[in-house]
């Protein structure tokens, strides 16, 4: 078979066979409306993206973060998800400050920080998720126009980084507001590492998987995992209660 023949086979597989498989798996019928078909396909693709193995543990590590913040994250994960957790607070600032600090912006390169921890925890298994919490301001070179980012995570990696630096805000000293922001950011970031960001709920600002880019957005985002995402809990996590 020549090169064109191979490309034709690949095209058929990608554009014909895979969609047919998803349509059958989603239970689409001729009576479904376009919206119903879209919703079924999105839910099926979401469930197909979840980890092959259940996540048994979530490790929460903090750099320059108060123990109370780490304990808050641990408790909300236990309450909302029920997976086993552990925490460890490290003294001092990030270990690679001189290498990844951008003096011109006064911020850390969030992508470089994230990659550092991905490399650190890459060989520690795929049934654990590592949430590294820092008290340093971060930006991303992928979108340098954004003044800051809250986190870096992907369902392709077992490690995520969360920055709580901006969560206190400039105009509020409310402990309750800070705690709510921490809880929502931690739940969403953990959710991203298991594919929950592909859930249909991620488009709904009333659901915690909605991506907030600013503090104002974060305050408007809901604090719960909505129905579509909850259906995936037992597939994604080994629940302990």
pLDDT in tens, 131-143: 999 999 999 999 9
What pLDDT is attached to residue 37?
Answer: 61
Give dist(CA 105, CA 123) in Å, integer: 33
Is the model's pLDDT at 108 over the cut of 90? yes
Residue 180, Cβ neighbours under 10 Å: how many?
Answer: 18
Right CATH number for 57-236 from 3.40.50.1820, 3.40.390.10, 3.40.50.970, 3.40.50.360? 3.40.390.10
Distances in Å between the Cα of 18 and the Cα atoms of 30, 156, 210 are 19, 21, 28
Distances in Å between the Cα of 161 and the Cα atoms of 31, 53, 63, 95, 130 are 45, 22, 11, 14, 8
Q: Which residues contact 30 (CB under 8 A, 6 or more apart)?
A: none
Q: Nearest CA to 188 among 172, 168, 211, 166?
A: 211
Q: How is residue 131 annotated by DSSP?
A: E
What pLDDT is attached to residue 20?
Answer: 47
Is the model's pLDDT at 206 over the cut of 60? yes
| Chain mean pLDDT for the chain | 85
Q: How far apart are the first and last CA of the chain?
A: 55
Q: Which residues contact 42 (CB under 8 A, 6 or more apart)?
A: 200
- Of residues 6 and 151, more confidence is placed in 151
- Of residues 199 and 49, more confidence is placed in 199
What pLDDT is attached to residue 91?
Answer: 80
Is the model's pLDDT at 30 over the cut of 70? no
Q: Are 204 and 97 in contact (CB under 8 A)?
A: no
Helix (H, G, I), strand (E, B) or coil at 56: coil
- Of residues 39 and 164, more confidence is placed in 164
Domain ranges across the chain: 3-48, 57-236
- Of residues 158 and 123, more confidence is placed in 158
- Of residues 226 and 97, more confidence is placed in 226
Is the model's pLDDT at 38 over the cut of 70? no
What pLDDT is attached to residue 16?
Answer: 41
Is the model's pLDDT at 87 over the cut of 90? yes
Q: How confident is the model at residue 11 (pLDDT cuts 50, 70, 90)?
A: very low
Q: What is the pTM of this model?
A: 0.84
Give dist(CA 170, CA 150) in Å, integer: 15
Is the model's pLDDT at 6 over the cut of 50? no
Is the model's pLDDT at 26 over the cut of 70? no
Is the model's pLDDT at 107 over the cut of 90? yes
Angle at which helices 18-26 and 34-48 pack, to 10 degrees?
Answer: 100
Helix (H, G, I), strand (E, B) or coil at 63: strand
What pLDDT is attached to residue 45?
Answer: 78
What pLDDT is attached to residue 179?
Answer: 96
What pLDDT is attached to residue 34?
Answer: 66
Mean pLDDT check: name the lowest of 74-78, 83-87, 227-231.
227-231
């Amino acid at each position: 078979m020549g090169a064109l023949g191979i490309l034709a086979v690949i095209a058929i597989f990608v554009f014909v066979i895979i969609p047919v498989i998803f349509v059958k798996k989603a239970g689409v019928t001729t009576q479904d409306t376009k919206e119903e078909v879209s919703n079924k396909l999105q839910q099926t693709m979401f469930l197909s993206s979840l980890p092959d193995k259940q996540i048994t543990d979530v490790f929460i590590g903090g750099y320059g973060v108060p123990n109370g913040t780490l304990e808050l994250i641990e408790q909300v994960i236990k309450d909302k998800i029920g997976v086993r957790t552990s925490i460890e607070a490290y003294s001092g600032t990030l270990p690679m400050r001189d290498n990844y600090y951008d003096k011109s912006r006064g911020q850390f390169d969030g992508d470089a920080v994230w990659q550092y921890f991905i490399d650190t925890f890459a060989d520690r298994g795929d049934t654990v998720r590592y949430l590294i919490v820092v008290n340093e301001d971060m930006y991303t070179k992928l979108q340098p126009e954004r003044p800051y980012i809250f986190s870096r995570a992907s369902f392709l990696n077992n490690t995520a980084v969360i920055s709580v630096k901006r969560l206190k805000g400039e105009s509020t000293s409310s402990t309750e507001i800070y705690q709510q922001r921490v809880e929502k950011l931690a739940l969403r970031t953990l959710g991203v590492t298991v594919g929950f960001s592909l859930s249909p709920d991620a488009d709904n600002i009333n659901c915690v998987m909605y991506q907030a880019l600013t503090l104002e957005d974060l305050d408007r985002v809901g604090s719960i995992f909505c129905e579509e995402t909850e259906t995936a809990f037992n597939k994604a996590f080994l629940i302990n209660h």
